[in-house]
Amino acid sequence: MTEYVKLIFGDREYELPLLEGTEGEKAIDISRLRQDTGLITLDYGFASTGSCASAITFMDGEKGILRYRGIPVEQLAEHATFKEVAYLLINGDLPTREQLTRFSVLLNDHSLVHEDMRHFFENFPRASHPMGILSSMVNALKSFYPALQSTEEEINITVTRLLSKVRTLAAMSYKISRGHKVVYPRPDLAYCANFLNMMFDSPVKPYAIDEDVVKALRVFWILHADHEQNCSTSAVRIVGSGRVNLYAAISAGIAALWGPLHGGANQAVIEMLTDIAEHDNISQVIERAKDKNDPFRLMGFGHRVYKTYDPRAKIMKRMAHRILEKLRISDPLLDIAKELEEVALKDDYFIAHNLYPNVDFYSGIVLRAIGIPTNMFTVMFAIGRLPGWVAQWKESIDDPRWKLSRPRQIYTGPLERKYVPVDER
């Protein structure tokens, strides 16, 4: 039986349907609000607004829960491969062995990128940020692979092509930026190992694949694979709602992820920790983060949804310890991060604002340990998030309620006035 929320406006009473998700979260359905009442809602940053119903990812920000298609992220990080997680997110269920084999074959088949794309790479200025390059190259894929994306089969090929080529494009951008020879994908290597090999193999020093490094990357990508309606995913859904091709929608997601308040935070955390290492100024950094007149924020802290410890950050912190120990690396930034966390978590400001480390706080330390340069961190996040973006895009286009995203506004500008010719102004 549908429940309703009563709205009294003027001398009339309206009933707005109440919806409930499978985990008990409730929402007021306001789709007919303007039509029935003439009112709209206003919600900066969409903090209280749901943009869709989704069966992909469940988060409980108060309890620190994250599940993909119902499966806790902790279990997936411990036992699954990134390929399985990508399949789970996109198709709704874990693959059978046969489905997994077929998926792997398709990923291998599509892993090469068109040789002409190399000219694009070579013409970016040397100082270009890899996120700008990746976003442009993904958008450019439509020109190189112009096939339609109308039928289920065409969409599946585009999806596989993207999942596979994004790794190759990311590794190519790194190699070319260093002036090194591009390393091609190898069909005998699994998804994560293949990427590491394309990044680090060279004619003078063959790359030795270390299973612990592969595992660290696998866990990093699984933890980033989806996070429901975050900034970049909403960008993918909103841009996709105009029925643009999938490459363009994903390119928009990559651009949105770049920002330091979102995926770019992993790079910003390492820059902040490096600055602390150079100036020994933890207490100064904490004071700056609390100062309302200073735009500085403690990077890698706080989250729109999590008001407790981010479950991904817990896993990432353990992983940082494990990989540094395994590789016998002593990274002073890990000690600084732990000290900073300890000071912040005891501070009244951070307690009162429910600010805890998010996924980006420790992820940079893991990426540094496996040899990823700092300016590639957000690209690593983008590769991990791709299955989530694709799953969310697919869900949106398959939804019979799919509509062009087009929010309204409250206009606060001047009332109608006359045009004044330039000489009379």
Q: Which residues are catalytic?
A: 303, 360
Near ligand ACO by CB under 6 A: residue from 45, 146, 203, 400 = 45
Extract long-range pairs of 99-103: CB within 8 Å, 24+ residues apart: 103/160
For ligand ACO, which is the closer residue by CB, 186 or 297? 297
How many angstroms separate the CA atoms of 109 and 103, rounded?
A: 10
How many angstroms from the chain centroid is the CA of residue 355? 20
Residue nearest to ligand ACO (CB): 302
Fill in the amino acid letter for 256: A
Choice between 138 and 344, CB closer to ligand ACO: 344
Q: Tell me the window of 107-115, 124-132, 142-150, 261-269 that interacts with ligand ACO (CB under 6 A).
A: 261-269
Adjacent-strand bridge partners of 12: 9
Shortest Å distance, C-beta 241 to ligand ACO: 22
Distance CA 116, CA 144 (A): 9
- CB 363 to ligand ACO: min, Å: 9
Q: Which is nearer to ligand ACO, 177 or 378 (CB)?
A: 378
Binds ligand ACO (CB under 6 A): choice among 175, 303, 368, 394: 303
- 62 forms part of the interface with ligand ACO (CB under 6 A): no
Options 84-92, 276-284, 298-306, 402-410: segment touching ligand ACO (CB under 6 A): 298-306
Tokens representing 104 are: 């792997």
Q: 215, 262, 307, 314: which one contacts ligand ACO (CB under 6 A)? A: 262
- The one among 186, 215, 304, 322 contacting ligand ACO by CB under 6 A: 304
Give the C-alpha separation, 322 to 318, whole Å: 6
Please state, in angstroms and as integers, the Cα–Cα distance from residue 7 to each residue in 17, 47, 232, 333, following that order: 11, 21, 33, 53
Q: Is 253 in the site for ligand ACO (CB under 6 A)?
A: no
- Within residues 159-188, the interface with ligand ACO by CB under 6 A covers none
**Cβ at position 301, least distance to ligand ACO in Å:** 4
80: contact with ligand ACO by CB under 6 A:
no
With CB under 6 A as the contact rule, the residue among 261, 332, 335, 371 that binds ligand ACO is 261
Task: Give me the phi and psi of 340, to 5 degrees please.
Answer: -60, -45
Q: Smallest distance, Å, CB 169 to ligand ACO?
A: 21
C-beta closer to ligand ACO: residue 161 or 317: 317
Nearest approach, Cβ of residue 244 and ligand ACO (Å): 24
From the CB of 260, what's the least distance to ligand ACO, in Å? 6
Find the part of the chain contacting ligand ACO (CB under 6 A) among 90-98, 157-165, 256-264, 398-406. 256-264
**Cβ nearer to ligand ACO, comparing 262 with 322:** 262
Residues in the chain: 425
By C-beta, is 141 or 299 nearer to ligand ACO?
Answer: 299
Q: Would you count residue 289 as binding ligand ACO (CB under 6 A)?
A: yes
Residue 232 CA: distances (Å) to CA of 27, 70, 196, 257, 411: 23, 22, 25, 5, 26
Q: Least distance from C-beta 278 to ligand ACO, angstroms?
A: 21
C-alpha 95/C-alpha 71 separation (Å) is 14
Burial status of residue 307 (CB atoms within 10 A of its CB: 0-12, 13-18, 19 or more): middle
Sign of torsion over alpha carbons 229, 231, 233, 236: positive
User: Which lies closer to ligand ACO via its Cβ, residue 199 or residue 344?
Assistant: 344
Among 19, 13, 18, which residue's Cα sits nearest to residue 37?
13
- Written as one letter, the residue type at 336 is I
Pair of tokens at residue 275: 């600055």
Considering only residues 349 to 408 of the shown chain, the ones binding ligand ACO according to CB under 6 A are 353, 355, 358-360
Q: Is 301 helix (H, G, I), strand (E, B) or coil?
A: strand
- In eight-state DSSP terms, residue 66 is E
Number of H helices, E strands in the chain: 18, 6
Query: Under the rule (CB under 6 A), what is the footprint of ligand ACO?
Result: 45, 230, 261-263, 265, 289, 297-304, 353, 355, 358-360
